[in-house]
A and B are shown apart, each in its own frame.
Chain A
Amino acid sequence: MELSVFDLSKQLGVAQDTIERWVRQGKLPVIKKGRNYRFDAKELKKWASNHNIKLNFYDKKNMPQKERLSVIPLSVAVQNGGVYFDIQGHDVNSALQSSIEKISMIPDDFKSDLLDRLIEREKALSTGIGNGIAIPHPREQLNYLKNPLVSVCFLDNPVDYKALDNKSVSVLFFILCPDLKMHLHLLSALSFCLRDHKFIEFLKSGPDYAGLIEKIEIIQKTNPI
């Protein structure tokens, strides 16, 4: 494999000027083709190992890419999680329990475990963020889920959620994620939506599934991430 100065500079993470200087100073084995320099990958490797130089040399294919998080928009997460109406419950625990039972995306084996975790989280600090809305979520990531999901549950009767503004809560947004980064992202996207008073009014009006998704799509367009 032959490399150009540009390739080598990318692979070694130094400037092209540096490579050219090294060539000029005779520090790299080079093949001169007219005015251009070419490097033979094999020769370079041999040279590096002979001189005990660590080149941090990668093949082109295996070059570590900067990991780019594939971001799922909130609306998709809600579509994943689903919207559920008429949830029964008279206090925090029972409301959570009946919600979990309804959410179809959670495997049955894990439902009781998840409930424990959610309750534990609520004990630590209430997730009721005010205006009758709570965002229950576990503190650990849930490896058994394939996709991040946000489930919206409308309660039949508002329950006392020990929220910040002491208002009782009637809408729950469950954020359930397989990894932490996604969780933070969804949390931030959701809280952006919930800062919008119109959106809260809209929630209170008891929207249907399609209307809710559409509304979220509109809001998240104004919040570029």
Chain B
Amino acid sequence: MNYKLLHIFRNTPFGRETFLQSLYFCKIINAFPVAYIPKNDKFLMYFSNDAVQVDLDHSYLTSPDTAKGHAEDLFKEMQIKPMFYEPKNYTASTLPDISTNFDYLCCPRSVSDLSSKIGLGHIGPKVRRMIKHSPFPILITSPVFKPWKSISVFFGGSKNALNALKLGLKIAISSGFGLKIYTLLEKQDKAYYKDLIQKEGLAEPVKQLSGHWHFYEKKDFNTMLYDVPHDSLIVLGAYGHGIIKDILLGSKMEQIQSTVTNNLLITGPYCSVKL
């Protein structure tokens, strides 16, 4: 299949790590990375019900003359054909529209604040809004490039979590890596979750692709996070219930992303995943 990942290229060492992460992701799942080298400090993405203006921090515009060359070098290093995205339409002369016809988007944890401020535990407001509206999953990278060798899905039983599970299976199929499922038993018991995936017709692929389904008691949340292998791609749904939590993308997800250093692949509430 022709899956495409959009990467907004930042011409800094930090951006290089992020970009390597994208390239590795694409290489593993046979997708095609498309790099966008921003020429303005902002762009717009029109989703089906909202327009998200992304204000990039000025490190994205660092030495524009070398940006393309740097990106091409990295493409070559990973033996991937370089592809660049050029915006076709402009809402205003300094405000390009970026197409939303992609299958994945790669972001560091923040795009509009200075990268020096980013530690763990802080997902920038723009990245949040993109997750909230985007029809495709968003890859949030760890600060340093680190190849991952397995896939871990956090499955909490919600509709989004089912989406995340599907996505995890899809990536497991195309990468050939092992898949582990982690579930925190909150209100229901194991049988409930097994029944749930049975209903969705996911039981068969789960059995085939994933040897391990780990269940944890509610109090063992942090144990669960520690048990996730350090070289694993975490796939999870951004839950979002209620207005306040919606803004924060749900507290669980907040807790997860502030604790683990792994790469995260997040499916938002509008994300649709087809197996």
Contact = CB atoms under 8 A, between A and B. Distances in A.
B-side binding surface: helix, strand, loop or mixed? loop
Interface residues of B, number: 4
Contacts of B159: 34-35
B79 interface: no
A-side binding surface: helix, strand, loop or mixed? loop
A34 B270 CA distance: 11
A24 B272 CA distance: 16
Contacts of B272: 35
Contacts of A24: 48
Interface string B37-50: 00000000000100
A34 B48 CA distance: 15
Contacts of B48: 24
Nearest to B271: A35
A24 to B, nearest CB: 6
Nearest to B270: A35
A11 to B, nearest CB: 21
Nearest to B269: A35
A189 B43 CA distance: 65
A34 B272 CA distance: 13
A75 to B, nearest CB: 43
A102 to B, nearest CB: 62
A171 to B, nearest CB: 56
> Interface centre among B48, B270, B272, by most A CB within 10 Å?
B48
A137 to B, nearest CB: 51
Interface in B47-100: 48
B238 to A, nearest CB: 15
A35 B163 CA distance: 12
Nearest to B48: A24
A24 B270 CA distance: 14
Contacts of A34: 159
Interface string A10-34: 0000000000000010000000001
A5 to B, nearest CB: 12
Contacts of A35: 159, 270, 272
Interface string B100-140: 00000000000000000000000000000000000000000
A95 to B, nearest CB: 64
A78 B48 CA distance: 63
A35 B269 CA distance: 9
Interface string B225-246: 0000000000000000000000
Contacts of B270: 35
A35 to B, nearest CB: 8
Nearest to A24: B48
Interface string A25-49: 0000000001100000000000000
Nearest to B49: A24
A24 B48 CA distance: 7
A185 B272 CA distance: 48
Nearest to A21: B48
B239 to A, nearest CB: 15
Interface in B241-275: 270, 272
A25 to B, nearest CB: 10
A34 B159 CA distance: 11
Interface in B162-209: none
A35 B271 CA distance: 10
Interface in A140-170: none
A34 B160 CA distance: 12
A35 B274 CA distance: 14
Nearest to A23: B48
Nearest to A20: B48
A23 to B, nearest CB: 10
A104 B213 CA distance: 73
A87 B272 CA distance: 73
A34 B269 CA distance: 11
Nearest to A34: B159
A217 B49 CA distance: 63
A37 to B, nearest CB: 12
A35 B267 CA distance: 14
A24 B159 CA distance: 22
Interface of A: 24, 34-35
Q: Kindly list the 5 A-B residue pairs having the minimum CB-CB distance in the complex, ordered from nearest.
A: A24-B48, A35-B272, A35-B270, A35-B159, A34-B159
5 contacts: A24-B48, A34-B159, A35-B159, A35-B270, A35-B272
